[in-house]
Structure 1
């Protein structure tokens, strides 16, 4: 009995609070924010658009939110009349926020472990970004004035960018059980300075609880999507096996690359509206006529647009292109061009009999000489 009385006395003296586990409560102080102003918790939807999750009204420079989250979520606190926002992690527990009305994004957040970690990380990140911005402005000014310190400024910019990159990677590696690590990992997935291998290794290092969470599953899917996107952007390189594809001929019949492969095969990406392509066509015609009977095959993939099939067919006739032709009539959205990483035309891939790419983007006499080398 004496122990209970003693514990109650301690709690009365030091404001003991029961630990909250089944819901969250946000206690906000908003010094200088007028009564009636609204505070919003927002979260991006699948399209990246911010939607309201909850709303609170400021009264006597205070506001509060209460609710339940099955797992931590990164959300954004907005306050009427302020364009900036405060990122914070909503998770079950007591979260305290002291609003800085002049700089919402620097408001103090405390209470839960994830928010303490995120606040420390965000502070260091802001400091590095501010330093980089200041150095960049100084470098621009030094460049205009041709100042002697511009090389040193540029060196400092690179060093601080490296520190920022290392800040992200080191935090994730050293906090494998932190939800903050998942947030940071998600933020760098599209940063091409971080390799796919590094992204996969960082994700693999997280605890099973985080990897198996809904957010963890989302991150894993995002990494896979980024991996596929980078592969498409990289395109097919010399030494790669050319992926098979099928598309419709001008007659509307499906034709596959592997159906027409010869001793040497040229995949030619072009379009009737492409001036450089049309100027290149006479060289391709000459090469085809000279080597077709000796084993050369060509399949041209047109990036003509939907509704312009007639223009495509007319260009074939006008340019005497008597080899194989296919098109999805989807212009730059053509799935074949995207899978091969084609971002400009004309573009050519030369394949050997096995389907391996042995040369790329040869034009004019260089194309003819390469085919002669391979045929004979």
Structure 2
């Protein structure tokens, strides 16, 4: 984000005495009850922008936003404030940091759109209700609910005054994409929540998705719902490649995205996926090379290249990042160096993580099978400090075995960051000399883990 406006713009204003065409938006305002030790950032949903917002001691701020992106969020670590910007917008944003939902006010040029979007997000939540309950509904009832949601949201759009016609046209399509995305989500969500893995929706239910154009660049830039539909489309193609060509999913997804003809859409999907999943790729080098071959965005490429270089420091045989003096459930503190001389299988988890808890029975089985061998099973919780007692209770309740440790700074712990862990559970295998065997080891539920242990004569 540029803090200085282009000089030529000012010159043009003086010379022509007309409002110039600009490619930026301005935001400013006041955050009530702001404390100087609070960090506020400006982020974009795709992760390509994350910068500190400079807030004065009295809570006032001002910044310039690049309108190559339309969606931003001001985030203080608790509650995000979502903003939509277009060239020439000048938004005045005010809220109480202790009660964002009830205190947020937005005025200035572009306020009508932003206030509409705030009202729409609230209404979406109210209409859809509790996802755990809504996705359990039978197909016909769920379908009727979606029709009602679409009708109500369309009415809100039509009743809102002061919205530009061009925006209303895009937003009408956006409402339809929301409707279609909820169709696309239903089968998998219903399976999981009803614990019925064989559930399948009717052909009629999915028919409306058959005519979606997955190459609309304008809607891709504007609508997160459309973007999710496009991403899901290419995820499905990736699953077909996995099945037919027996390749890893991470590589398969990049291969499916590589077929997109629009460079901006291809760059965006490839970057967002690589930014999140490069650390999980079985062959990081092959994944990185495939990404670079298909991305023409130099800024994105620099970010992924930096991640790749850091991951190369985590290659097999490299010294493992360490942890020091993590609280041990059994008492005292434990460091990685205390475990030298044995293989160490590390499980990074948290009490709130469903997939982590699903691995617990499998981990117990693996521990039982290899407990007499030269290996330590170490579980590191990245729960926040406020959940320390919850962690202790779950360790006792689940009768967790092995070495149970509590990380020093949850996600910000040096060990977690150096391993570039941005999703859990994550499993790591370290050799008796403290060197990495596999920085992204198989999960306990994966038969490949037993094969790996056996191949190492553990």
Relative CO higher for 1 or 2, CA cutoff 8 Å, sep ≥ 6?
1
TM-score, normalised by the number of residues in structure 2: 0.36
Answer with 1 or 2: which has the greater Rg: 1
From the two aligned structures, give the one with the greater strand fraction.
Answer: 1
How high is the TM-score relative to the length of structure 1?
Answer: 0.42
